[in-house]
């Protein structure tokens, strides 16, 4: 359940304004009813919004937290601006940040070598005090410039985020989706580092697969029968992919199968558990429904994960 940015009313089916990115109830969903910053970006706001159909147009009102934050940016994020597509769209904002971070990783390797790259982007058991890496590691991925690096690491997670992310964001709102993505990604990485310390195997982690599994977990709870096209061909319910990935992660963590193929299975499992828990919370507090079929998605070759899993190069160890 989300709160309206104007009146604070709890709303089961909130509206996300595509112009300012705020979350509103039915009474304040129209741009003119929440003092939308997008009104200032039209050439003829009187002709468009003051049409005479509604005599109760509020020209003043309270400015939403989302719109006021966006208005402070020194760039044009309004309708027609170069970044209008990312306004109120957390999924594709995070997707863009992943690829920008990937480019910065390459630059760091070229300029400062492995040492600079690790200190900026890699969450490691040797330096957990580098608190910035708790977040940057979520957006960073295995760079192909390093031995063992894989371009498919970021591609697999990008596919998951591209297809599954908008569905979850639509149901929980952009703000809650952003919190879910960051918190699940950070906790997944820290958990993997903690597991490695307990096992006596120092490790370093990077990648968004913990957050990707959290997204998948939310959808599994909201609609376990959601059809995902495995390898873009075979329709399977999302619960089957989720269960399969959980079994694989638990199997590797238990030691039943030696090694993990350089995959942070602990991070994957923690992200999935967070997603399942949050999905259950959403289901209990909101009346939501999900589509019964996802035509083009499924997380690359079958969903987020690592080699040997349901598909895609998952959150990896560096």
Amino acid 304: pLDDT: 35
Per residue, the 3-state secondary structure of 4-39, as one string, reads: CCCCCCEECCCEECCCCCCEECHHHCCHHHCCCHHH
CATH 1.20.1540.10: does it fit domain 84-285? yes
Sorting pLDDT into bands at 50, 70 and 90, what band is 236? confident
Structure-token match 């990896």, residue found: 316
Q: Let me know: does 28 contact 6? Beta carbons within 8 Å.
A: yes
Q: Let me know: does 93 contact 86? Beta carbons within 8 Å.
A: yes
Contacts of 180 (CB under 8 A, 6+ apart): 168, 172, 211, 214, 215, 218, 274, 275, 278
**pLDDT tens digit string along 78-94?**
555 556 666 678 998 99
**pLDDT tens digit string along 281-317?**
988 886 555 545 444 333 333 333 332 333 333 445 4
Q: What is the C-alpha to C-alpha distance for residues 273 and 271, in angstroms, rounded to an integer?
A: 5
**pLDDT tens digit string along 199-211?**
788 888 889 989 9
Averaged pLDDT, 34-63? 47
**pLDDT tens digit string along 255-290?**
544 445 567 778 889 999 999 999 999 888 865 555
Q: What is the C-alpha to C-alpha distance for residues 184 and 180, in angstroms, rounded to an integer?
A: 6
Please tell me which residue, 47 or 132, carries the higher pLDDT value. 132
Measure the CA angle with vertex 162, ends 161 and 168; round to 5°: 65
Q: What is the C-alpha end-to-end distance of the chain, expressed in Å?
A: 38
CATH 3.40.50.300: does it fit domain 1-40? no
CA separation, residue 102 to residues 10, 107, 199 (Å): 38, 9, 30
Given the DSSP bridges, would you call strands 316-317 and 204-206 parallel, antiparallel or unpaired? antiparallel
The residues with which 192 forms a beta bridge, in sequence order, are: none
Q: What is the C-alpha to C-alpha distance for residues 17 and 227, in angstroms, rounded to an integer?
A: 28
Domain ranges of the chain: 1-40, 84-285
**Nearest residue to 263 via CA among 310, 306, 211, 214:** 306
Q: What is the C-alpha to C-alpha distance for residues 77 and 54, in angstroms, rounded to an integer?
A: 27
What secondary structure letter does DSSP report for 233?
T
The answer, yes or no, to whether residue 49 has pLDDT greater than 90, is no
Give the pTM.
Answer: 0.67
Classify each residue of 239-253 as buried b or exposed e, where b means 16 or more C-beta atoms within 10 Å of its C-beta.
bbbbebbbebbeebb
**Nearest residue to 317 via CA among 197, 134, 137, 111:** 137
């Amino acid at each position: 359940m989300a709160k309206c940015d104007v009146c604070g009313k709890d709303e089961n089916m909130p509206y996300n304004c595509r112009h300012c990115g705020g979350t509103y109830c039915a009474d304040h969903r129209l741009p003119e009813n929440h003092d939308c910053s997008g009104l200032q970006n039209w050439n003829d706001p009187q002709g468009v919004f003051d049409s005479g159909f509604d005599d109760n147009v509020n020209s003043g009102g309270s400015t939403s937290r989302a719109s006021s934050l966006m208005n402070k940016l020194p760039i044009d994020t309004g309708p027609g601006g170069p970044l209008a597509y990312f306004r109120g769209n957390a999924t594709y904002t995070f997707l863009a940040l992943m690829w920008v971070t990937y480019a910065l990783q390459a630059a760091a390797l070229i300029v400062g070598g492995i040492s600079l790259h690790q200190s900026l982007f890699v969450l490691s058991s040797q330096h957990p005090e580098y608190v910035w890496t708790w977040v940057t590691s979520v957006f960073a991925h295995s760079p192909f410039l390093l031995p063992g690096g894989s371009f498919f690491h970021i591609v697999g997670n990008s596919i998951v985020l591209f297809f599954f992310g908008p569905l979850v964001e639509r149901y929980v709102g952009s703000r809650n989706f952003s919190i879910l993505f960051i918190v699940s990604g950070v906790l997944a990485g820290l958990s993997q580092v903690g597991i490695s310390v307990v096992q006596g195997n120092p490790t370093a982690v990077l990648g968004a697969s913990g957050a990707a599994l959290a997204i998948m977990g939310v959808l599994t709870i909201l609609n376990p029968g959601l059809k995902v096209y495995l390898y873009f061909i075979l329709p399977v319910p999302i619960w089957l992919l989720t269960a399969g990935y959980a079994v694989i992660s638990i199997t590797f963590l238990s030691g039943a199968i030696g090694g993990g193929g350089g995959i942070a299975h602990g991070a994957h499992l923690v992200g999935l558990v967070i997603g399942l828990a949050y999905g259950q919370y959403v289901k209990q507090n909101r009346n939501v429904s999900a589509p019964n079929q996802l035509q083009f998605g499924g997380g690359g070759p079958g969903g987020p994960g690592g080699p040997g899993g349901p598909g895609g190069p998952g959150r990896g160890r560096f």
